[in-house]
Chain A
């Protein structure tokens, strides 16, 4: 059947279609119809298969490359010598050349395989949602949370630890907050993720989807008073009475946004570091 198709295609002289069918030898040889070809499918009339749509690449429109700089590259504010950060960065870049550390945010679902001397096959794999990214430089960490057999488990991994074999992003997305520690007080369904879930494809230049999910909480008391303005949490569906929410606003400090000593503008630093890191990674 495949051979017959092939001969027909040769007769028709349509090279593109031959390439398409040759690329998928295992699939059923579906002859894409065009005006000259016969439909061969055991004599039954085949459904009309439209030709594949041509992908139009508009070269005039420049695709804006998303500039993502991992937050641990940005040095914290302090009186440290920039040379120390530079040396740390060279080490971080070296490690990134060996292990691919993908772009991810708090709220993305990751799977991490590490080398474990005590496991039977010397590796251990953990899948979870990233609830926090902390630390700067080589000591940068991220915390993954999942609920396994009813027990909530959190793992704090160091990004540059040489025991990490692979970091895979199963689902790249952002959430409404930078810190999802409140998932510990949320209903368990919001922290359960399938350990064998398939990676959700994500193209390189799309915007990162922001999951507008508002999480429902377990009954109070919580580990922290998440309703207070200090945490500034957008991602909880508070079902608290109005008086409680207003009382929580007593602890708001609206003058902080005007405090000039707390300002730390990292835009220039980010650009320089992004340039440096990209150039080194390309080498």
Chain B
């Protein structure tokens, strides 16, 4: 009876997995393979909590220090070598046409600041710092989905020691230190950039509009009042043990609970996008973008910034630096670029006429 055989294999796999503890991906795969009747190795090597290791567990202290130093120097050299992309056989540069989509950036959310316009209105802006942003890989449209080409862009530098080898390969190919966050940007064919090109905050200009995507702050397991904004029940007047509960979840006619019913669960730590945010100011020295309003994510989290897809602002994003802003190009930008309406603190106080 095949059923018994499957059960035994699964039980065997679970026995090997042993104490509930470490992740048992190997055991799961092995058990599944055996259960389907592959007659493969019915017990596979399992990574157990007692057998996990980290990169410097078996290295002496000297060796660890040496490795750290060597990688740091290597990555410093790599970043320095990528500073002049225009001299490094860049891919052909095209000019902007309406309908072309260009790359975005990966930035760090620093915090929020007030900003005043020349009329005296106060707006709250978020500071996004573009730090060590490089283009990592180009996937032509045939390989991606047949319609659009993509560019993978990476954010802040991070250590190579806790990354899987597959990820490190991509970084090695681009000739760039490993990054903390990598994102995919769908790009039109005239905006492709050679992998290894650094991207700067001046890629965006004041007055244009931007979409920012990031993982929202994780709130953990939350009840229905905080997660979905339910009203709950009154605090007194006879309520027995029911103050923050959902109440009814369906009706009698349905006889079942529909899929997607709002219930308690894990809240936050989900990718969300804020659309149509105006860029007020760019600081080219520290690579900081001042973006209107708030942005999902906690302070110092990595966000994905790209030109808006909203049709309302299609006219405001005309003639951007295309395909990106090159620091070693002829254009010399001042330290701060302001939108027309922004009050610059070097000006005298606002007066009304």
**Residues of A bordering B, CB below 8 Å:** 78-81, 83-84, 87-88, 91, 94-95, 97-99, 115-117, 122, 137-139, 158, 160-165
Query: Chain B's interface: helix, strand, loop or mixed, by majority?
Result: loop
List 17 A-B residue pairs with CB atoms under 8 Å apart, sorted by A's residue number.
A78-B299, A79-B300, A80-B300, A81-B299, A83-B129, A87-B113, A91-B345, A115-B120, A115-B351, A139-B113, A158-B122, A160-B114, A162-B116, A162-B120, A162-B343, A162-B350, A163-B349
Per-residue CB contact flags for chain B residues 323-353 toward chain A (1 = under 8 Å, else 0) read 0000000000000000000010111111111
- Closest approach, in angstroms, between the C-beta of B247 and any C-beta of chain A? 37
Query: A87 to chain B: which residues have CB within 8 Å?
Result: 113, 127, 283, 286, 288
Query: B120 to chain A: which residues have CB within 8 Å?
Result: 115, 117, 161-163
Provide the bound-state CA to CA distance between A79 and B301, in Å: 11
- Check if B349 sits within 8 Å of A139, measured CB to CB: no
Query: B348 to chain A: which residues have CB within 8 Å?
Result: 98
- Closest approach, in angstroms, between the C-beta of A211 and any C-beta of chain B? 31
* Pairs A-B, 3 closest by C-beta atoms: A94-B345, A84-B110, A117-B352
Query: B129 to chain A: which residues have CB within 8 Å?
Result: 81, 83
Provide the bound-state CA to CA distance between A218 and B111, in Å: 43
Provide the bound-state CA to CA distance between A161 and B129, in Å: 25
In the complex where A83-B110, A115-B120, A138-B113 touch, is A162 in contact with B349 (Cβ < 8 A)?
Answer: yes
Query: Chain A's interface: helix, strand, loop or mixed, by majority?
Result: mixed
In the complex where A87-B127, A161-B116, A162-B120 touch, is A80 in contact with B350 (Cβ < 8 A)?
Answer: no
**B346 to chain A: closest residue by CB:** A94
Interface residues of B in 121-157 (CB under 8 A from A): 122, 127, 129
Provide the bound-state CA to CA distance between A105 and B126, in Å: 30
- Check if A115 sits within 8 Å of B350, measured CB to CB: yes
**A135 to chain B: closest residue by CB:** B114
Provide the bound-state CA to CA distance between A122 and B350, in Å: 11
Query: B349 to chain A: which residues have CB within 8 Å?
Result: 98-99, 115, 162-165
Query: A81 to chain B: which residues have CB within 8 Å?
Result: 108, 110-111, 129, 299-300
Interface residues of B in 44-85 (CB under 8 A from A): none
Query: A122 to chain B: which residues have CB within 8 Å?
Result: 351-353
- Check if B345 sits within 8 Å of A80, measured CB to CB: no
Provide the bound-state CA to CA distance between A117 and B119, in Å: 9
- Check if A83 sits within 8 Å of B286, measured CB to CB: yes
Query: B343 to chain A: which residues have CB within 8 Å?
Result: 162
Query: B353 to chain A: which residues have CB within 8 Å?
Result: 122
- Check if B345 sits within 8 Å of A95, measured CB to CB: yes
Of the candidates B111, B116, B346, B349, the one having the most CB atoms from chain A within 10 angstroms of its own CB is: B349
- Check if B114 sits within 8 Å of A139, measured CB to CB: yes
Per-residue CB contact flags for chain B residues 88-120 toward chain A (1 = under 8 Å, else 0) read 000000000000000000001011011010001
Query: B299 to chain A: which residues have CB within 8 Å?
Result: 78-81
Query: B116 to chain A: which residues have CB within 8 Å?
Result: 161-162
- Closest approach, in angstroms, between the C-beta of B303 and any C-beta of chain A? 14
**A137 to chain B: closest residue by CB:** B113
